[in-house]
Every structure is written in structure tokens, then in C-alpha cells.
A and B are shown apart, each in its own frame.
Chain A
């Protein structure tokens, strides 16, 4: 049993620090012989899900600013409504860098309706009035 584990780990084992709570468990995540994702080193069951997600498809919320026309500030903070695949963050930044919002705007207003065709909205993080 143990031998099998070691063999399996050698291929594509990843060390992932669990960020669910401050305990920061060091997870070892790998695919077993059957190709199923296995998580070891977790302190609680929440770590299993986190480890699986981080291993197979890590996601992050896009947090940035976009240019805003006529606003009290030149830039408006925005975020993706849900997390997007981690590897798409820089592509998403490129999109955001070329988008211009228009003041006045309300928190939650959609700034980018369909980010990179992912079906994810990017929304204003705050309301911003028009510059007087």
C-alpha cells in the first residue's frame, strides 16, 4: 500500500498550503493510480475540498481598477463577481486595462459583462459621482 502511494506521488504531487484557516496545513495533493485526486496532510475536512480545487482548477477573483470618464477619481476599483481560473488573470488584466467606465456609477454596476467569454461579470466595487 505504502509503496504504491510513493510511486503515485512522485509523478505530479503538489505541496499546497491550505488557507481556509490560520492553521495553514501543508497539503500533499496528487493523483492516485486510478487518476483520482487525493489530499493528505489536512487538519479538517474543509482542507480536502480546498486541496482538490487548488490542484485541479485554482481560481482567483480579479481585483483591479478601470479607467473612468468624468469621475471624482481617474480610476474605479472593480472585481470579478466570481473567481476566474488563476491562469487567466493576466489576460483579464489586459481586458480591464482597455475598458472605460462612465461616471456616475453605482457599486455593483456591471463594467465588463462577459470577461474573456467566461460568462463572468466584472462589477464596480464602489459608487462614484461625477466630477463637478
Chain B
């Protein structure tokens, strides 16, 4: 019997899991996919918003304002890539100027640093390639960039090391109320738990419905993105257009790894799984992005993708509350600024567990907030790298040249606390295949390393979930067996 079962391994679920791990609780996180960060967390703008934008009085405003400053401490403890680069809201018209003045006012009321800059020369010095039509900007220096995979994996690994269990590839198909709590049908397994925390993203309403705790609905809102190669159209700041009611608009921003990112558009849809990009959508993004940064060279795109935001029917606000079913807590409708809010949400959810459930919550004296990160080449200087290769030759073999990832890092990722068993899992930890050649050169190499380390034939290695096998067969009657080459 578990004390708490969290359904959903996105950044919200993992942040909650990590926060719960500081208490003496038996917690399990149930995830449909093979890995954390597999749906909404996988496709978003990767921005930690300053917190001035959301309307007053909303939960998402409260969570964003509280959540943003929490990232500094979390970065110290968990070691993920996060940087406060600052954001611009770009005004082109008098009307836009009024809107950014309103944002400045909200920022002041919320004690968020920010200023309006109308000195075009200064704006151009800060962001040389910004559109010449700019009239003024609202500059918020505390806005930041995070690598969502790195953040989510760090949260999950720290939770895991502090005792939270993870159940992957186990979609929840039913929840039954029992005398003591709930029985969850998760894949093949039945999980008994006292409390359920529903952090199931776009599926949160479906999960809530299983126990009649669904006094809300979720609409998936698709956003498409294009990633541009390093150096092709560099930007220094996160550039937002002046927002509309539907969304913050199509933005242009750097990524923490130095690429340039354009998107998203906003399209409500029925399907909770359709993350296709479309010609029309990609065009819309390019047109939108060029309003801010006219020089975007579309031929330098590396990849495009789409993600779904989970938008609630409560004016699009977050739903973080005990449901009408006792011990069933909904954490739903976490759309933008969900990533920025995740740490505050986690803290708040734990307070809900304390105040609104039957569970007795005690601090765990052995809790270790520090997560030892994976050693990476990009973080090393030449002496450190030189030493590392001497100790272990795999540090000397670069497997992914675009992102400079060595064999040692790939092997380490495979053997982390939450082990990597697929191409995408490795990609989501140390980035091979995320660069300009999109895995063209490193795919065969990583397939073989996975095969050797997992002692599984290459034909069984998947891109991500089951059914996504990368190659089907061998040629020439070759034996189907694990690869055995290049042992250090």
C-alpha cells in the first residue's frame, strides 16, 4: 500500500514527487510512457517567465510569481541548465505601448524587476537583429531559460534517490475507490494507494473521471515550434510580441544550448495525442517570428515539432485542489506558465496533502536535496577532460559531433538511477542527435552502444516507447545478438 500515487511524469508530477520525497511517505509515480517528460513537458517554449503577465487573482499568476525565484535554489541542489537571460515584450504600435505599460504596472505590483525601454539605440545594442519597427520594449531581467528535459530528469532522479518509486510504460486504465484509498490499474499492475495526485496533463480530466472527480475539462491546445541552428540567427533575449488574449504569441528566443527557437502558434484541438506539425502551422510561425526578428533564415532550421498545452475550462487557469473525492487531488490545466510554476506547484500540492487529506506527514531526516549530476564534456575544461580520458578512454571518443557528446556520457546515461533504455531517453539527458545533423552520424553508433550496455540486439532498441524499434532486421543472415564491440 502506497501513501501517495502520482499519475503523470511530466515536470509537474516529477516536481511534486521530489517535494514529497522529503517526507516519510511511500510514494510512487506512474507514467504511461517509457520516460519522464514525454508529452507536454517535451514540447513547450522552455521559458521560466518573470511572472508579470498572468492576470491578477489567478492561481497561475500566484504560482508563476512564487515559482520563478525558486529556480536559483533548485539549480544549486539539482544541477540542471538554467539561466536568467531576461525577456523583452516588443511593442510596435501605440496600442502595444499601452499594453506593455500595463505589464510594467503588474510587474511593479508583484515586485518583479522590469523596465520599459524606448531608447531604440539601447534596444538595438541589447538585441542587434530585432525588427527596425520596434517602438519600445518591456524588459524583465528575471525571465530565464531552462532545459525542460534536464530539469524534469533532475527532479525525477532526486526523487528516486530519496525513495520515490517510478513505474514506467504503465498507462492508467482504471481507478477504483477502496475502503482505505484507491486501487489504480496501471498497465499490468495494480497499485494500492491512500492518496492520488492527478498530474496527468492533457489527460487529467479523463483520469479524474475514473473516480468522479471531474468537475473540469481539459482542451489540448497545440503549439508548433521550429528550432534554428546555432549562429544562424542569434538572439540574446527572449522576445515576445505584445500578447493577445489567446496566447503570449509567437516568440523568438535563444535556447540554453545556443540554438534559436521560434514558436508557438495556438490551435485548440480534440485529439490529446496529435502532435503533428503542419505546413500551414510552420508557415504561421515563420511569419510570426519574422515580425520580431526579420532575418530568420528558414533554410537553417534543424527540426520542427509540436506540443500540447493542457488548457482547463476555468478560464484557462490552473486547477490545483483537493477534489470532491476524498484524498484525490487534481493538479490539472497546467498550461503556460506551467514550467515556470512547477516548483511552486509542488510546494503547494504538498501543503494540500498536509491540510486536506487523512495522511500524517512527517519530515524525512535522511532527505538529501542534492542530486549528483551526470558528468558532461561541455562542463569540463581541457585539464579535466584530459584527466577523464586517462582514467577512462570512453571520454576520448566523441559520438555526437554536433553537440560534442562522448561515449562515456552515453554509457553513464544508460546506467543512471533511472536507466536510459532508448534513443530518446539518452537524447533527453545528454543531447546526442539534437544538433544540426539530427542524429545522421551518431544514430548507428548510439544504437550499438545501447545494444552492448543493455545486452539486447540492436533490432530491439527503440526510439522511445514499445513499437518504435529503429531497425527491423539484419542483412545477410547475420546473427541477431547484442553488439559486443569497443569494450573499454
Contacts and interface: CB of A to CB of B under 8 A. Distances in A.
Q: Are any A and B Cβ atoms less than 8 Å apart in their complex?
A: yes
Interface of A: 65-67, 74-75, 96-98, 131
B487 to A, nearest CB: 11
A104 to B, nearest CB: 17
17 contacts: A65-B475, A65-B476, A66-B476, A67-B476, A67-B477, A67-B478, A74-B476, A74-B478, A75-B475, A75-B476, A75-B478, A96-B476, A97-B475, A97-B476, A97-B477, A98-B477, A131-B485
Contacts of B476: 65-67, 74-75, 96-97
Contacts of B477: 67, 97-98
Interface residues of B, number: 5
A74 B476 CA distance: 10
Nearest to A68: B476
B482 to A, nearest CB: 13
A131 B476 CA distance: 19
A75 B475 CA distance: 9
Interface SS of chain B: loop
A66 B477 CA distance: 9
With most chain A CB atoms within 10 A of its CB, the pick from B476, B477, B478 is B476
Given A75-B476, A98-B477, 15 more contacts: A65-B475, A65-B476, A66-B476, A67-B476, A67-B477, A67-B478, A74-B476, A74-B478, A75-B475, A75-B478, A96-B476, A97-B475, A97-B476, A97-B477, A131-B485
A63 B471 CA distance: 22
Contacts of B485: 131
Interface string B467-480: 00000000111100
A58 to B, nearest CB: 26
Contacts of A131: 485
A97 B475 CA distance: 8
A78 B297 CA distance: 43
A74 B483 CA distance: 11
Contacts of A67: 476-478
A74 B479 CA distance: 10
- The winner among A74, A96, A98, A131 for most chain B CB atoms within 10 A is A74
Nearest to B474: A74
State the 4 A-B residue pairs at the shortest beta-carbon distance, nearest first: A67-B476, A97-B476, A74-B478, A67-B478
Nearest to B483: A74
A112 B477 CA distance: 17
Contacts of B478: 67, 74-75
A113 B485 CA distance: 31
A73 B476 CA distance: 13
B354 to A, nearest CB: 59
A74 B485 CA distance: 11
A98 to B, nearest CB: 7
Interface string B440-483: 00000000000000000000000000000000000111100000
Nearest to A96: B476
Name the residue among A65, A67, A96, A98 with the largest chain B CB count within 10 angstroms: A67
A64 to B, nearest CB: 9
Contacts of A65: 475-476
A70 to B, nearest CB: 13
A66 B478 CA distance: 10
Contacts of A74: 476, 478
A65 to B, nearest CB: 7
Contacts of A66: 476
Nearest to B485: A131
A92 to B, nearest CB: 14
Nearest to A76: B476
Contacts of B475: 65, 75, 97
A90 B130 CA distance: 59
Contacts of A97: 475-477
Nearest to A67: B476
A97 to B, nearest CB: 5
A105 B242 CA distance: 67
A65 B485 CA distance: 20
A112 to B, nearest CB: 13
A105 B478 CA distance: 19
